[in-house]
Amino acid sequence: MLESQLIDRDYRLEDQIEYIQRGDEQLRNEIIKAYQPYIARCVSDVCKRYIKKNNDEFSVGMIAFNEAIQLYSKDKGASFLAFAQVIIKRKVIDYIRKEQRQYMYPSLDVSEEEEIEDSPLEISEAKKIFQLEQESWYRKQEILELSKQLKEYKISFNELTKISPKHRDARESAVFAAKQLVEDPSLYEYVCTKKRVPIKRLLNLVSVSKKTLERNRKYILTVFIILTGDYIYLREYLEGVDL
């Protein structure tokens, strides 16, 4: 059985990815086949509907998963599946956008009298409206996903407006602290496992007081989640803060 073959290799998935990157094509095929259900789930999450193997979106997900195998590096700290999920979602979102743009102005079977001609300005404005509507939809999806993740850290989405630092320097300090958690593998693992900020260890890496870290810990965790997740649009809210 495929599963037993993978177990017999006695390697973590991240180690198996390294072997594939060194040229083990048989293992590549085994991994891709074994993780087809995972790929389908990632694609279904983006499409908000059940995706079958014969759907075009699934094929996009398979290609993205294979690309993730090539691009993955353990040095980045994230697990391979977390990294692959980001790549899959981005590729599927790009595919959906292209498909929607393709059908935005469908060809019409009309006579010359009925022919519709849009001015360049009208077309430009329509595209802007379409883009804004799409971005709004994706932001809402990211907010829903973030709300789910925040629950794992015992943070409610409604708390965010209350716990966000009011001053710019305080926000920058919190974002800097979150980056230390992302970039340090041991701290990253701690946060993902314990779902809390390692205050004492973090004090050695930042220039703020213990009291400040404790006061902003939920905001720091929220930024950590955004930085490590597939939150393309929510990251825009962090622009203006030194990321």
Residue ranges of the domains in the chain? 2-97, 157-238
The token pair that represents 44 in the structure block:
């279904």
**Mean pLDDT score of the chain:** 80
Q: What is the pLDDT of residue 161?
A: 78
For 1-15, 113-127, 136-150, 173-187, which range has the lowest pLDDT when averaged over its residues?
113-127
In the predicted structure, residue 53 carries a pLDDT above the cut 90: no
In the predicted structure, residue 109 carries a pLDDT above the cut 50: no
Q: What is the pLDDT of residue 118?
A: 47
Q: What is the pLDDT of residue 217?
A: 93
pLDDT band at 106 (very low <50, low <70, confident <90, very high): very low
Q: What is the pLDDT of residue 129?
A: 61
Q: What is the pLDDT of residue 105?
A: 46
Q: What is the pLDDT of residue 210?
A: 92
Q: What is the pLDDT of residues 125-175, one digit of tens each?
A: 555 565 666 667 777 778 888 888 888 899 988 888 788 888 888 888 999
CA dist list (Å): 12 to 33, 74, 80, 224: 17, 12, 10, 25
Q: What is the pLDDT of residue 9?
A: 45
In the predicted structure, residue 111 carries a pLDDT above the cut 70: no
Share of the chain above pLDDT 90, in %: 37
Q: Which fold has domain 2-97?
A: Rna Polymerase Sigma Factor; Chain: A (1.10.1740)
CA dist list (Å): 140 to 57, 109, 144, 149, 219: 21, 36, 6, 14, 20
